[in-house]
Chains A and B, each alone.
Chain A
Amino acid sequence: MLNYVIKRLIYMIPTLFGMSLIAFMIIQLPPGDYVTSMLATMADSGQNVDPEQLEALRRSYGFDDPIWLQYWKWITGILFRGDFGYSFEWNRPVADLIWERMGSTLALSLASLLFVWAVSLPIGIYSAMRRHSVGDYGFTLLGFIGLAIPNFIMALTLMYFSYRYFGQSVGGLFSPEYVEAPWSWGKFVDLLAHLWIPIIVIGTNGTAALIRILRANLTDELSKPYVITAKAKGLPEYRAVVKYPVRIALNPFVSAIGWVLPELISGVTITAIVLNLPTAGPLLLRALISQDMYLAGSFILLMGVLTLVGMLISDILLALLDPRIRFN
C-alpha cells in the first residue's frame, strides 16, 4: 500500500511538469498581453497613454523576453521560492490572492458535498429497494427537475424567495454588517442563513446524479447471491441491504471525491458570480479575461495539482473501502 502511494506520487512529477507547460502555453495563446488589455480598458475610459511608458511597463513585466524564459522565471519562482508571481491587476502576490479565497471556497464545497451525500444516500437506497413505487417515481421526478434546471436560474429563484419571504440580504456569504466584522456567534448564524442557498444550488445537480448512480448500482447488487445469503442468515431486510450491497454500491460516492477538489475552483463559477460569493471561480474568470497571466496560470496549475491529489485520495479511500482493490 505504501509502495503504491509512493509510486503514484513519483508518477505525478512528470504529469505536473507537463501540466505546467500546457497551462503556461494556453495563457500565452491569445494575442496581446496584460498591457494590451490594460491599454484597451484605458482607451475605453478616454485616457491617453504614452507609448513609451507602455514599452517601459512591458520591459519591467518581462513580456519582451522569449516565452521559454518567461516560463523558466515563473516555474523556478514556484519551485524554489514558493513565489507564484505577481498579479498585475490586483498589484498583489498571486499566492495571497488565491489563499484569501481558498477558505470560503473550501467551506462551501465541503458543505455542499456533505449535503449531496446526506440527501442522495438515503434516497438512493430507498429508490433501489422500492423500485417502481410511488416514492421512487416522486424522487426520480424531483431528481430530474434538479438536473434540468440551470444552476443560475435556481440561484436567482432562491435569492428572490429568500429576499421576498425571509427578508434576507441578497447574495454573498454574509449580511453587509458582518462582512468585515470579527467572528462571533451572530456572524456564524448569519453565515448559516446565507449558506443554504449556494449549498442547495451547487448540490442539487450532484444529488440528482448520485441518486441515479446509486439506484442503478444498488439495483444490480440487490439481486446478487450474497444478499440472499445475508437474508437466509436471518438478517432483517434493511440491515442486510445496508451492510452488504450498499457497501459495495458506495464506490461511486468515494470516486466523487476525486472530482470535487478541482471543482473547488472552476466548477461553480456561474453560481458564484450570480450569488456574489467570494470564491475562487470568479477570480479565475477575471484573471483570464484581463490576461493577468501569473494569476491565471497559477490557478490552472493549482487545479491540475488538486485533480491529481483528488484522484489519489479517492483511489486510496477506494482501496480502504474495498479489499478487492487493495489486494490486486
Chain B
Amino acid sequence: MQMQAVKTERNQQGQAGDVVLKVENLSLDFRLRTEILHAVRDVNFELRRGQTLCLVGESGSGKSVTARALLRILDRNGSIASGSILLAGKNGDIDIAPLTERSPELLKIRGGRIGLIFQEPMSSLSPVHTIGSQIIEALLLHRRMNKQQARAETIELLRQVEIPNPDKMIDRYTFEFSGGMRQRAMIAMALAADPEILIADEPTTALDVTTQAEILDLIKRLQVSRGMAMLLITHDMGVVAEVADAVAVMHYGRIVEAGSTDEIFHNPKHAYTKRLLGSTVKLEQNPRASTRATALPADRKPVLSVRNLNKIYGASTSWVGGNDFAVKAVDDISLDLYPGENLGIVGESGSGKTTLGRLILRTVEPTSGQVTYFGQGEPVDVTGLSKRQLKNFHRDVRLVFQDPFASLNPRMTVKEVIGDPLIVSGKVRGAALEKRVGELLELVGLDPMVMERYPHAFSGGQRQRIGIARALALDPKIIIADEATAALDVSIRAQILDLLLDIQKRLDLSFIFISHDISVVRYFCDRVAVLHRGKLVEMGSAEQICTDPQQPYTKSLISAVPHPDPRHKRMMHRTRFTA
C-alpha cells in the first residue's frame, strides 16, 4: 500500500534514478601545523533520486569529510583543493565547490536542498533549546511560514518520525529524549525543508541494535516516500547490506571500489574490500563452538559465582521527602563463570550490563546479593571483603576498558602504564620489571622496543593491546572486558578478539565479555547471558542464543542485528518486542 503512494509522488517530482548530485574529482586538503594533509583525493560519485549510496570505510578513510564538503561544513583549516560538486537544478547545475562561505546560495542549499544527520545524537542538538524551537528555526529559514504554521508543521514532522505525543514533545529539551528519540528529532529537522538529498553520517553507530533497526527503517521509509537521494556513511557492512543500492568503498582518501551492493558483497575486486568483508563475515561464526562444547566436563566447578545480585539506584531517602525514582539497575541476577570459559553479557544501553561488571569487581557496592570467587584456597565472599582484601581480589580479576584513548595516561610511557600494577603490588621492580613488561608486550603482539614510547604514538588497536597487556600483568584468573572492542574498526576488532582467544589458550583465563554487539559476542563467547532492564532474560550457549533464541526479547534483539549479505536482509522481517 505504501509503495503505491510512493510511486505517484515520485512521478510528480521526477524520475527515480535521475542524478541529483554529481561529485567529480573532489580533493580535500587540511592544513596541519607542519604539512598539508590530503584527506580526500579525486573522489567521484553520483547520487540518484530515490536511491541510497553507501560510503564505506574505516576511521580516517575520509568518508565523513567528503560528506561535509558537500555542504561546505569543513573545519577552518580544511579546503576544497580541486573538483566540483554539481547539484542538479531546474535551471542547470549549481557547482557547490566554488561558492563562498557566506553566499546566500550556499545557505539555501544547506538544510534547504541537502539535509544532514550525523552520529552523536547526544550532542548534535543544542541542550538549552527545546526540540521544537530548533526544528521551527529550520522551517522558518527555508519555507515561507509564520510561527504558528511552522509549529504545526513541526508537530506533523515529529509525528512522521514516530515520536509519541508530538504536540507535547515539541516543547521538551534534548536531555529528556533517549538516544533513539533524539536521532528521530534530528531526522525531522533535516527533513523540515523537504530536501532532495539526505546525508546520513553514521546515523546509527551510537545506538542499540533494535533502535538502529528502527531508525534505519524510518529513514528508508521516509526516503522512499519523499523520493530523496541518500548518502549514507557507515563503517558497518551489515548496515550497508541492509539499506544500500550502491556502495563506494573508501580507503586512505580514495574510492577504491564502487558498484552495486550485490556486486560489492558477492564479487569484490579490490583487496581492501575483500579484507573488509572478510573481517565482517568472520565475526558471523564462533571459532570455538565445535571444539569447546564437547571438551568441557559436566561436573566442573565455577571460578566465580554470582547469586541474587541486586543494585538499586536512588532508593535512599533524604530529609526533604522520599524519592520515587528508585531504579533497579541490576535485578536479582545469578550466574556462574567456569574456568577457561568466555561468558558474554549482552544487552542494550541501560540494561545494567556495565553495572553488573562493576558489581562483580565491587567498584560499585551491591545493594544485596553475593559474589563468590573460587581462587587458590578457600572460596572468597567478595561482597564481604575489606578494602585491603579487595586489593588481592583485584589482582586476580582485572578489567579491560572500552575507550583505548581515555584509558591510558598520556603522560606515562608504555612501560609505566603496563608496569604500574606490578609496582603497586610490590612484586617486581628494576630489571625484572623491564623484562616482564617486554614479555607482556610480546604476548599481545607488540614489539618490546616500544616500551619507552608514549600512548599517543599508537593507533586505537595498538592501544587496546597495551590495555590488555596491563590487565595481564598480574597473572589474573578472570578478565572483565567492558565493551573492549566497541571503539575499534571492524578489521582491528577481529584481530583483538583473536588475540584474546590466543592468550586464553596460553594462560588459564576466564573472560566476562560485556558487549552490545551480538556478532562480537557470538565470535568470542561460549555462553551468553542476555540482560534487559536489569533482569537476566535468557542464558545459553552463544550458538543457541544467536540462532535459536527462546525468549521474545532475545528474538527481537537477534533479529535486529544487520546481516552482512544483501541477498538475505534480516532487519526487514525482524520481530519486534514491546514491553
Residues of A whose CB lies within 8 Å of any CB of B are 3, 7, 223-226, 228-237, 243-244, 247-248, 321-324, 327
- Are A236 and B128 in touch, CB under 8 angstroms? no
Nearest CB of A to B335, in Å: 34
Choose among A3, A234, A327 the residue that contacts B142 (Cβ–Cβ < 8 A): A234
Choose among A223, A225, A233 the residue that contacts B118 (Cβ–Cβ < 8 A): A225
In the complex formed, the residue of B with least CB distance to A326 is B173
Nearest CB of A to B153, in Å: 15
- Are B127 and A324 in touch, CB under 8 angstroms? yes
Q: Which of B80-131 contact A (CB under 8 A)?
A: 101-102, 107-112, 115-116, 118-120, 123-129
Question: Chain B residues near A324 (CB, 8 Å)?
Answer: 127-128, 173, 175
Choose among B110, B123, B137 the residue that contacts A224 (Cβ–Cβ < 8 A): B123
Considering residues B108, B120, B186, which has the most beta carbons from chain A within 10 angstroms of its beta carbon? B120
Considering residues A234, A237, A321, A322, which has the most beta carbons from chain B within 10 angstroms of its beta carbon? A234
Question: Chain A residues near B125 (CB, 8 Å)?
Answer: 226, 229
Q: In the complex, A244→B115 CA distance in Å?
A: 19
Does chain A have a CB within 8 A of B176? yes
Question: Chain B residues near A226 (CB, 8 Å)?
Answer: 123-127
Q: In the complex, A3→B320 CA distance in Å?
A: 10
Q: In the complex, A322→B190 CA distance in Å?
A: 25
- Are B142 and A225 in touch, CB under 8 angstroms? no
- Are B320 and A7 in touch, CB under 8 angstroms? yes
- Are B127 and A229 in touch, CB under 8 angstroms? no
Question: Chain A residues near B124 (CB, 8 Å)?
Answer: 225-226, 228-229
Q: In the complex, A225→B120 CA distance in Å?
A: 7
Q: In the complex, A243→B186 CA distance in Å?
A: 18
> With A229-B186, A234-B141, A237-B101 given, is the CB distance from A248 to B128 under 8 Å?
yes
18 of the cross-chain contacts (CB-CB < 8 Å) are: A3-B320, A225-B118, A225-B123, A226-B123, A226-B125, A228-B73, A229-B118, A229-B125, A229-B134, A234-B109, A234-B138, A235-B141, A237-B101, A237-B102, A247-B129, A322-B128, A323-B128, A324-B173
Encode B171-186 as 1/0 by CB contact (under 8 A) with A. 0010110000000001
Question: Chain B residues near A235 (CB, 8 Å)?
Answer: 107, 137, 141
Question: Chain A residues near B73 (CB, 8 Å)?
Answer: 228, 231-232
Question: Chain A residues near B123 (CB, 8 Å)?
Answer: 224-226
Question: Chain A residues near B75 (CB, 8 Å)?
Answer: 223
Q: In the complex, A236→B107 CA distance in Å?
A: 7
Question: Chain A residues near B400 (CB, 8 Å)?
Answer: none
Considering residues A7, A231, A237, A244, which has the most beta carbons from chain B within 10 angstroms of its beta carbon? A231
Nearest CB of A to B336, in Å: 39
- Are A232 and B116 in touch, CB under 8 angstroms? yes
Choose among A3, A233, A323 the residue that contacts B189 (Cβ–Cβ < 8 A): A233
Question: Chain B residues near A244 (CB, 8 Å)?
Answer: 126, 129
- Are B173 and A327 in touch, CB under 8 angstroms? yes
Q: In the complex, A231→B108 CA distance in Å?
A: 11
Does chain A have a CB within 8 A of B230? no
Encode B133-175 as 1/0 by CB contact (under 8 A) with A. 0100110011000000000000000000000000000000101
In the complex formed, the residue of B with least CB distance to A232 is B116
Question: Chain B residues near A321 (CB, 8 Å)?
Answer: 128
- Are A234 and B320 in touch, CB under 8 angstroms? no
Does chain A have a CB within 8 A of B71? yes
Question: Chain B residues near A223 (CB, 8 Å)?
Answer: 75
Q: In the complex, A248→B174 CA distance in Å?
A: 14
In the complex formed, the residue of A with least CB distance to B124 is A225
> With A225-B120, A228-B124, A323-B173 given, is the CB distance from A233 to B111 under 8 Å?
yes
- Are B111 and A232 in touch, CB under 8 angstroms? yes
In the complex formed, the residue of B with least CB distance to A229 is B124
In the complex formed, the residue of A with least CB distance to B321 is A3
Nearest CB of A to B414, in Å: 29
Q: In the complex, A7→B111 CA distance in Å?
A: 46
Question: Chain A residues near B189 (CB, 8 Å)?
Answer: 229, 233
Q: In the complex, A54→B223 CA distance in Å?
A: 95
In the complex formed, the residue of B with least CB distance to A244 is B126
Nearest CB of B to A135, in Å: 15
Q: In the complex, A229→B134 CA distance in Å?
A: 10
Question: Chain A residues near B129 (CB, 8 Å)?
Answer: 243-244, 247
Choose among B68, B110, B128 the residue that contacts A233 (Cβ–Cβ < 8 A): B110
Question: Chain B residues near A230 (CB, 8 Å)?
Answer: 126
Q: In the complex, A233→B190 CA distance in Å?
A: 7
Nearest CB of A to B77, in Å: 11
Choose among B112, B118, B127, B175 the residue that contacts A234 (Cβ–Cβ < 8 A): B112
> With A229-B186, A234-B142 given, is the CB distance from A323 to B110 under 8 Å?
no
Nearest CB of B to A301, in Å: 28
- Are B127 and A323 in touch, CB under 8 angstroms? yes
Q: In the complex, A232→B119 CA distance in Å?
A: 14
Nearest CB of A to B174, in Å: 9
- Are B128 and A247 in touch, CB under 8 angstroms? yes
- Are A232 and B126 in touch, CB under 8 angstroms? no
Question: Chain B residues near A224 (CB, 8 Å)?
Answer: 123
- Are A228 and B118 in touch, CB under 8 angstroms? yes
- Are A234 and B108 in touch, CB under 8 angstroms? yes
Q: In the complex, A7→B119 CA distance in Å?
A: 41
Q: In the complex, A247→B130 CA distance in Å?
A: 13
Nearest CB of B to A4, in Å: 10
Q: In the complex, A247→B116 CA distance in Å?
A: 23
- Other A-B pairs beyond A7-B320, A232-B190, A234-B108, 12, CB < 8 Å: A225-B118, A225-B119, A225-B124, A226-B126, A229-B118, A229-B125, A232-B116, A234-B112, A237-B102, A323-B128, A323-B175, A324-B175
Q: Which of B41-78 contact A (CB under 8 A)?
A: 68, 71, 73, 75
Q: In the complex, A244→B126 CA distance in Å?
A: 7
- Are A233 and B138 in touch, CB under 8 angstroms? yes
- Are B111 and A234 in touch, CB under 8 angstroms? yes
Choose among A234, A243, A247 the residue that contacts B107 (Cβ–Cβ < 8 A): A234
Q: In the complex, A223→B77 CA distance in Å?
A: 13
In the complex formed, the residue of B with least CB distance to A131 is B76
Q: In the complex, A144→B148 CA distance in Å?
A: 49
Q: In the complex, A231→B120 CA distance in Å?
A: 16
- Are A248 and B142 in touch, CB under 8 angstroms? no
Question: Chain A residues near B116 (CB, 8 Å)?
Answer: 228-229, 232
Among all A-B residue pairs, the 8 with the closest Cβ atoms: A234-B111, A232-B116, A225-B124, A234-B110, A233-B111, A226-B126, A233-B138, A225-B123
- Are B137 and A233 in touch, CB under 8 angstroms? yes
Nearest CB of A to B516, in Å: 22
Question: Chain A residues near B176 (CB, 8 Å)?
Answer: 327
Question: Chain A residues near B320 (CB, 8 Å)?
Answer: 3, 7
Question: Chain B residues near A327 (CB, 8 Å)?
Answer: 173, 175-176
Q: Which of B268-289 contact A (CB under 8 A)?
A: none
Q: In the complex, A228→B124 CA distance in Å?
A: 8
Question: Chain A residues near B102 (CB, 8 Å)?
Answer: 236-237
Q: In the complex, A327→B125 CA distance in Å?
A: 17
Q: In the complex, A293→B119 CA distance in Å?
A: 64
Q: In the complex, A231→B141 CA distance in Å?
A: 12
Nearest CB of A to B119, in Å: 8
Q: In the complex, A224→B126 CA distance in Å?
A: 9
Considering residues A233, A236, A322, which has the most beta carbons from chain B within 10 angstroms of its beta carbon? A233
Nearest CB of A to B325, in Å: 12
Nearest CB of B to A251, in Å: 10
Question: Chain B residues near A247 (CB, 8 Å)?
Answer: 126, 128-129
In the complex formed, the residue of B with least CB distance to A234 is B111
Q: In the complex, A39→B101 CA distance in Å?
A: 77
> With A7-B320, A324-B173, A327-B173 given, is the CB distance from A232 to B128 under 8 Å?
no
Q: In the complex, A137→B134 CA distance in Å?
A: 34
Q: In the complex, A321→B129 CA distance in Å?
A: 10
In the complex formed, the residue of A with least CB distance to B174 is A226
Q: In the complex, A225→B141 CA distance in Å?
A: 20
Question: Chain B residues near A231 (CB, 8 Å)?
Answer: 71, 73, 110
In the complex formed, the residue of B with least CB distance to A10 is B320
Q: In the complex, A29→B141 CA distance in Å?
A: 67
Question: Chain B residues near A233 (CB, 8 Å)?
Answer: 110-111, 137-138, 141, 189
